[in-house]
Structure 1
Amino acid sequence: MSKLTLEESQAERGAHHRLALMVGEWEGTTRVWFQPDEVADESPCRGTIRSALGGRFVVHEYEGAFQGKPLSGIAIHGAHLDEARYETAWVDSMHNGTAIMFSVGEAGSTSGDFRVLGSYGDGQGNRYGWRTEITVDGPDRLVITHFNVLPDGTEAKGMETDYRRRAPATG
């Protein structure tokens, strides 16, 4: 059986086509939870998602604030065709310190959602999961939701960015 080519993946229902749907200028609101059902912070955010390396990847650069302090981050999202999975490398000024979080997830989903799972340590030997879902909700809405996954497998929403496509500048 032959491997899927990049050109086939960029076609209407392929993983790279789904990545391309994220490309644009975005603005919205980010909410953070430390306890279930208790929003710890809510602030405006802006982001740019651009295609990179001929559509092989998308690069998401964003900025916002947490409790009044600026934050920014960069994520590179891709679809690894040989492994049939999505992959992400993510850094930001709030969560990661000096670490790069690498995450992977199955790319075979027909839902169109981008889902990956990474992990981080607490400095005391414990590992926690960090699950990310990106949902393209029509041409002008993008929702990025992150879940903390405790060592026992329990999940809780940690952060969610609800983006709307920014209107192009006129002039």
Structure 2
Amino acid sequence: MGSSAFEASQAPGGHHHALARLAGEWVGVSRVWFEPGAPSDESPIRGSIRPALGGRFMIHEYESALGGKPLQGMVLIGWHIDAKRYEMAWIDSFHTGSAILFSTGAGDAGPLPNVLCHYGGHDGTPPWGWRTTIEQPDPDTLVLTAWNIEPDGPEAKATEIVYRRA
């Protein structure tokens, strides 16, 4: 990655510029679905998003609960200039166990991440998909949504975080 490519990506309209706009302290609601329909759990969430390595990446750390039990997580978010795609590495104390979910661009290279990964399948069963999007409808609102994708099946909303700037 040349410095001029990174500088261009930091300019208004660039992917790193869009990522930088996510920085801050956030509070909101986390919802989890185990079945389609109404959420199975809804809990308060607090998160922070900060730049790393001169703005090349963003780090999202958060604390919430699921079923009344504390939950913590961390996400490393980046725009891969050469591959022209978003990439994320996600860990948390509920969903990922001891694994890291590595996600890469899921098609469009829109202004914010739309990434896909696969999990499971280590026992010979087909792996499932997990697609994550980040949207910022206005400067003070942030929506992180993830869908579970059955092997050869449809997507179903699995998690949604709706943040407001703290």
Say if 2:77 and 2:87, in contact at 8 Å, map to a contact too.
Answer: yes
Match runs of 1:82-161 below 5 Å: 82-105=82-105, 109-110=109-110, 112-121=111-120, 124-125=123-124, 126-161=126-161
| RMSD of aligned alpha carbons | 1.8
Paired residue for 2:32? Answer: 32
Question: What count of residue pairs does the alignment treat as equivalent?
Answer: 164
Say if 2:106 and 2:131, in contact at 8 Å, map to a contact too.
Answer: no
Say if 1:84 and 1:107, in contact at 8 Å, map to a contact too.
Answer: no
Amino acid at match of 2:139: P
Uncovered stretches (5+) of structure 2, i.e. residues with no partner: none
Uncovered stretches (5+) of structure 1, i.e. residues with no partner: 167-171
Q: Which string of whole-angstrom CA distances, capped at 9 and with x for unpartnered residues, describes residues 18-74 of structure 1?
A: 111111100000000011112100000000000010010000000000000000000
Residue 9 to residue 106, structure 1, CA distance change in 2 (3 Å) = farther
Runs (4+) of structure 1 exceeding 4 A deviation are none
Paired residue for 1:22? Answer: 22
Task: Provide the TM-score with structure 1 as the length reference.
Answer: 0.91
Identity over aligned residues, as a percent? 52
Say if 2:106 and 2:116, in contact at 8 Å, map to a contact too.
Answer: no
Amino acid at match of 2:114: R
Deviates more, 1:116-125 or 1:71-80: 116-125
Q: Secondary structure at the match of 2:138?
A: coil
Paired residue for 2:47? Answer: 47
